[in-house]
Structure 1
Amino acid sequence: MELRTLVNVMLGSLQPMLIVWGPSQTTLYNDGYAEMCGKRHPAAFGKPFGELWHDIWDQVEPIISAAYAGQGTSMDDIEFVMHRNGVPEETHFAFSYTPVRDPWGTVLGMFCACTEQTSTVAARNAERTLRERFEQVFELSPGGIAMLTGPNHVFEYANEVYYSMIGSGRDIIGKTVAEAVSEVVRQGYIDILDRVYQTGEPFVAKNLRIELNRGTAGEKQDRVIDLAYQPMVEDDGKVIGILVQAIDVTELRAEEEKQAQLSHELGHRLKNQLAMVQAIASQTLRNSTDLASARVRLSDRIAVLSAAHDTILLGGMGASTVTQLVDKMTSLHDDPANPRITVTGTNIKVGSRPSLSLSLILHELATNAVKYGALSLPDGRVNIQWKIAGPKSDRFELIWTETGGPPVQQPEGPGSGLRLINAGLNGTADSTVAFTFQPSGLTFRIDADLQGFQQEH
């Protein structure tokens, strides 16, 4: 009687159902359960339950034994690795094993209603795996990423870079942006989020200035960020949240500005260099008697210009010192074993343009001293002195004195070297040069405003 009733119920149900009956645990099932048996149907019908599920019997036997002992079992999700189609496959089921008794309470068998959830669990696992992969991608992203949900913009997720940007000590998950990063409210960022959420239109901007309370003490820091707010939209077009992408470009923009300044400075200096080369070439060629001598003098002067430029670079920040320029000249025109040039002066900084002019002037004076002046005779000497002068200590002064050379006579007319020297110090607002031609030796004096002498151009 009991079996007939259960069979009628089982056959009339669309849900997979199973009856295990009698001491031999004979298996009866409907069409829904037959699909779950795979290739073991129809051979399994009417056979012992242990033969149907022999490959998972170690998991099933305790449950069926409990049912025959009068104890029901219900599970929402149990995992088996079955071979029902000849190959191992992971399967998932929800079921209940209910003991079936006769009127006197004796267990006659077991009735089971079940549902296979393999595809549902697989889809859920795939979704979880995909989410984990997305989170891994987000964590590996060089920029900060956060997910906000709802109209109040509640933090659902944030990667480590985002935490680092806003201050790693903050607790933001489950809080609104206004609560977790309150300083952005007065800066208008909540208004931007509201517009994105309401309109579904993304917001993308570069080089945004933002003030953040960062660090353990929450100190205020001004940062520069590239920012994108992308609406997250459901299939029906409804916005459910916002994906935040942010990159802190503070150091990058500062470096770009520095490079732009350096490029501008380089271009400016190159123009100055070319102008000086042009002036030197024009003056040398105009006052030379023949091409061979012009070539030699032009080559020498450009070499001095190059050496002076190297000195400027070694000085750093486009500047050098008078000591460096004088030492460069003496290394070319004096003998360390028998020095005949003495120098006295303080370590005064020189701007780039005056540096080049002073190097050329010193070279011209030394060249003339070797050819015609004090250094042309064994006992000749040159003394160079420089200092900061003037009542207000706002002038640069250098004096070149020659002694022990041949008698000096004032030249009949200025050659190219004297013209170059008389041009003074390029880049200064007020500079004068003066020659004194005495029989005992030449004296040269140069005087310039200290501010122009040291200023970068």
Structure 2
Amino acid sequence: MPAAPAVKPRTPATGLPTGGAGPMHDKVAPPSSFLTGGGEMGALMRAHDWSSSPLGPPEYWPQSLRTVVSLMLTSKFPMFVAWGPQLAFLYNDGYVPIFGAKHPHALGLPFREVWSDIWTDIEPLVTKALAGEASFHEDLHLVMERNGYPEDTWYTFSYSPVRDETGEIAGMFCACTETTQEVKSRATLKAEQDRLRELFQQAPGFMAMLRGREHVFELANDAYLQLVGHRRDIVGKPAREALPEVQGQGFFELLDQVYSSGEPFLGRSLRVGLQRKPGTPAEERFVDVIYQPVTDKGGQVTGIFAEGYDVTERVQAEESLRESEARFRNLADNAPVMVWVTEPDGTCIYLSRSWYEFTGQTPETGLGFGWLNAVHPDDSGWSGEAFRASNAAHEPFRVEYRLRRADGTYRWAIDAAAPRFSEDGTYLGYVGSVLDITDRKEIEDRLSASAAEFRTLTNAAPALVWASANDGSIIYMNERWHEYTGQRVEDAIGFGWTAMMHPEDAKRILPYWQHCRETGETYEGEARYRRRDGEYRWHTFRALPHAGPDGAIEKWFGLSVDIHERKQWDEHRELLINELNHRVKNTLAIVQSMASQSLRQVSEENRPQAKAFEDRLFALARAHDVLTRENWEGAELREIIKEVVEPYLRQKTKHIEIEGPRLRLIPRTALAIAMATHELATNAAKYGALSVPSGCVFITWTITSDEIPRLELRWQERDGPPVVAPTRRGFGTRLIERSLATDVGGDVRLTYEPAGVVCVMNVPLSDEGGAADHPSRQ
């Protein structure tokens, strides 16, 4: 905190400048009569011990100080004076309430010590005063600790410099008024005004204050601005200028009438066209509005207060409700069902035209509870009681009874209704419908008979017949299940049937079952089920999905057949085939070994023929390997070709491209094509495209769709050495033609085109000719 401002040194007793000659210099001061009549503070000053004070006794105070103190003590206005180097603090009776608990011990203490809690705030002002600059402050905020705790205070005051007899500034004088209550009152008033203004602005209804005969807008809240369009600057403008599109709609005339008559106006659901966005057509709105005249003290109308609500949504809702009711009646009168509506007490207040046409009743005979007279006598009693009980419980209502038609015949009908409730939960009655279900009941009877026939048929079947929901749970199992497994049918329903499946098969089959339900694929396979004697026996099963009207799968129907003996025979047959494959493979190996040993002594001149023979044996062995892996049931054409040309594919300089659709061949066709491909590859490696790095062979095939499907396989060489037609037909050519013609009934066209050798093989794919699994039959 800055030090107190310095003043010129003075003598302790007189407060006059040292070395100066004042009026009382070296003289005894007169009695302190200037303190007489100073009220409480005058008495305190007279009784105060000034011996330790820098001011000294009052009778020695300089005349300038005496004059200020005398003026201060006789004033009712709060004042204080701070004098001398330490700015000793002197104050009057009016200042006592400001001091609070600091009174009276603050008398004579330094200014800085007296108001240490606010010294930081007032020191700059004090400095100005001691520098000769007076200041005035209005409602200055100060946080003071005058009663032992900080409190917000406000003051209006002035600080003025006070000069002594020498003309030097010896202190400062303050006249002040505490305005704390006034400031707080103004703040409270402002807060209340702000609150009222905020309430005005945020009021749910629109409000506006119009002044004078021109109806100039003084105020308009947010709801009013939202009604007429936020972007409008209407305040300060006459109504006709602010809202020009309203001209001719009668509202300005109403304002004129209220202003001239002094009578308020109340209007409901008034239509008004407002241009709520610049450059757009006027938008239709509906308002409830009150124009209330505002008068002065003399009763003269000075303006109009307009308030109301935008009820466009309510009017539109009412209109929509009327339209909805009209649509409901039109829909109900033309609906294929008979529609009715009741009050909360159950009395019928509406019956659609179709009811009257069906029953022959009229509104006079059908409304109320008259509708029960059209119900069959045997059904009206119990159905009426059911209706009254449901209505009393406010529950849905649903019954089936016989209803008399206008021609006197009775038809089965279903009568159903749902309770209506208001937004607050009040029960409003029923809205119901009646539907002729005679035809449906006849269909249900036929379906019931059909279901009985289905159960009889499935129970007579030797297989296990079942049906499931799309979640996999069994919903029907024929009686053969219990006869076979010993498990009760009711225990098999749901997922109980899985307990009869072999645990190993259950782990495999159940995920597959879920997959089929998700994809819609046919569910088929083989699994073991436990017979009632405990033996697990193999079954083959197959199930197809059944779709509902919307195309979604609703159910699955399937059956399982015991194939245990066939399964054992298949295993035995597979064992025999494996043994045969093993023996054939060993036989080929022996032939290859014998050929190798026999041809070892062949002369160099006949070595190429011997090598060709060995290669043909190896090609035949490779084809046999493919068929052996498939249990001699057939082989994939692509796999056969790849296996034969595999020795050439290992050589990076050889280029062979293979392309064609999937085709599975029977064994003899596969062997014939394998040997033909081997001969072509061998010839190409010696003389054709495979004999040079740049050459390439294209092997392609297609399937024709004539009366008898045929395979057309094309071997074409390119970029090889120049092609010259041979002068004689070699063994390889005769082998290709003979094997395809004799074994499978095919034919071969071998041409020596300049671009490369082309061989086209045409093979029939009938079951007798060569297809084990033709795509057209998959």
| Range class of TM-score, shorter chain | 0.5 to 0.7
Is this contact kept in 2: 1:277–1:302, CA < 8 A? no
Give the counterpart of 1:168 among 230, 244, 248. Answer: 230
CA distance 1:332–1:191, change in 2 (3 Å):
same
Structure 1 position 275 matched with structure 2 position 385: no
CA distance 1:182–1:37, change in 2 (3 Å):
farther
Is this contact kept in 2: 1:154–1:174, CA < 8 A? yes
Is this contact kept in 2: 1:73–1:97, CA < 8 A? yes
Taking the aligned partners of 2:379 and 2:189, their CA distance within structure 1 comes to 86
* Residue of structure 2 in register with 1:251 after alignment: 313
Structure 1, residues 398-422: CA drift from partner, whole Å, max 9, x if none? xxxxxxxxxxxxxxxxxxxxxxxxx
* Residue of structure 1 in register with 2:538 after alignment: none
Give the counterpart of 2:120 among 58, 67, 76. Answer: 58
Is this contact kept in 1: 2:269–2:286, CA < 8 A? yes
Is this contact kept in 2: 1:196–1:203, CA < 8 A? yes
Structure 1 position 17 matched with structure 2 position 56: no
Letter in 1 for 2:404: L
TM-score w.r.t. the length of structure 1 is 0.57
Structure 1 position 90 matched with structure 2 position 152: yes
Letter in 2 for 1:162: Y
SS at match of 1:85: coil
* Residue of structure 1 in register with 2:404 after alignment: 298
Structure 1 position 101 matched with structure 2 position 136: no
Residues 360-439 of structure 1: pairs in structure 2 closer than 5 A: none
CA distance 1:241–1:95, change in 2 (3 Å):
farther
Taking the aligned partners of 1:27 and 1:15, their CA distance within structure 2 comes to 17
* Residue of structure 2 in register with 1:397 after alignment: none
CA distance 1:175–1:3, change in 2 (3 Å):
farther
CA distance 1:88–1:164, change in 2 (3 Å):
same
Give the counterpart of 1:180 among 242, 248, 253. Answer: 242
Give the counterpart of 2:290 among 228, 241, 254. Answer: 228
Letter in 1 for 2:356: A
Distance apart, 1:107 and its partner CA: 1.0
SS at match of 2:162: strand
Distance apart, 1:88 and its partner CA: 2.8
CA distance 1:286–1:160, change in 2 (3 Å):
closer
Percent of aligned pairs with the same amino acid:
39
Distance apart, 1:119 and its partner CA: 1.5
| Residue segments in structure 2 that go unaligned for 5+ positions in a row | 1-62, 334-349, 366-371, 381-400, 418-434, 448-778
Taking the aligned partners of 2:191 and 2:113, their CA distance within structure 1 comes to 36
* Residue of structure 2 in register with 1:126 after alignment: 188
SS at match of 1:251: helix
* Residue of structure 2 in register with 1:31 after alignment: 93
Is this contact kept in 2: 1:66–1:72, CA < 8 A? yes
Taking the aligned partners of 1:24 and 1:135, their CA distance within structure 2 comes to 52
Taking the aligned partners of 2:172 and 2:202, their CA distance within structure 1 comes to 53
Is this contact kept in 2: 1:151–1:197, CA < 8 A? yes
Distance apart, 1:149 and its partner CA: 5.1
Structure 1, residues 378-412: CA drift from partner, whole Å, max 9, x if none? xxxxxxxxxxxxxxxxxxxxxxxxxxxxxxxxxxx
SS at match of 1:55: coil
CA distance 1:232–1:73, change in 2 (3 Å):
farther
Give the counterpart of 2:179 among 93, 103, 117. Answer: 117
Taking the aligned partners of 2:228 and 2:186, their CA distance within structure 1 comes to 33
Structure 1 position 45 matched with structure 2 position 103: no
Larger Rg: 2
Structure 1, residues 221-249: CA drift from partner, whole Å, max 9, x if none? 22110123445678887877654323211
Is this contact kept in 1: 2:402–2:412, CA < 8 A? no
* Residue of structure 2 in register with 1:5 after alignment: 67
Distance apart, 1:154 and its partner CA: 4.0
Is this contact kept in 1: 2:89–2:106, CA < 8 A? yes
Is this contact kept in 1: 2:117–2:144, CA < 8 A? yes
CA distance 1:329–1:254, change in 2 (3 Å):
farther
Letter in 2 for 1:279: G
Distance apart, 1:255 and its partner CA: 0.9
Is this contact kept in 2: 1:280–1:298, CA < 8 A? no
CA distance 1:298–1:142, change in 2 (3 Å):
same
SS at match of 1:33: helix
Structure 1, residues 318-377: CA drift from partner, whole Å, max 9, x if none? xxxxxxx9xx99877779x99xxxxxxxxxxxxxxxxxxxxxxxxxxxxxxxxxxxxxxx
Distance apart, 1:182 and its partner CA: 3.2
Q: When the two structures are aligned, how many residues end up with a matched partner?
A: 319
SS at match of 2:117: helix
Distance apart, 1:207 and its partner CA: 1.2
Is this contact kept in 2: 1:81–1:90, CA < 8 A? yes
SS at match of 2:107: coil
* Residue of structure 2 in register with 1:137 after alignment: 199
CA distance 1:232–1:224, change in 2 (3 Å):
same
* Residue of structure 2 in register with 1:370 after alignment: none
Structure 1, residues 270-296: CA drift from partner, whole Å, max 9, x if none? 3444534651699xx9999x9669974
Taking the aligned partners of 1:286 and 1:69, their CA distance within structure 2 comes to 113
Taking the aligned partners of 2:103 and 2:262, their CA distance within structure 1 comes to 54
Distance apart, 1:101 and its partner CA: 2.2
| Residue segments in structure 1 that go unaligned for 5+ positions in a row | 308-324, 339-457
SS at match of 2:271: strand
Taking the aligned partners of 2:129 and 2:379, their CA distance within structure 1 comes to 119
CA distance 1:276–1:177, change in 2 (3 Å):
same
Taking the aligned partners of 1:198 and 1:13, their CA distance within structure 2 comes to 58
Is this contact kept in 2: 1:148–1:155, CA < 8 A? yes
Taking the aligned partners of 1:104 and 1:129, their CA distance within structure 2 comes to 53
CA distance 1:199–1:265, change in 2 (3 Å):
same
Is this contact kept in 2: 1:196–1:202, CA < 8 A? yes
Is this contact kept in 1: 2:139–2:156, CA < 8 A? yes
Distance apart, 1:170 and its partner CA: 0.6
* Greater alpha carbon shift after TM alignment, 21-30 vs 191-200: 191-200
TM-score w.r.t. the length of structure 2 is 0.35
Distance apart, 1:99 and its partner CA: 1.1
Distance apart, 1:104 and its partner CA: 4.8
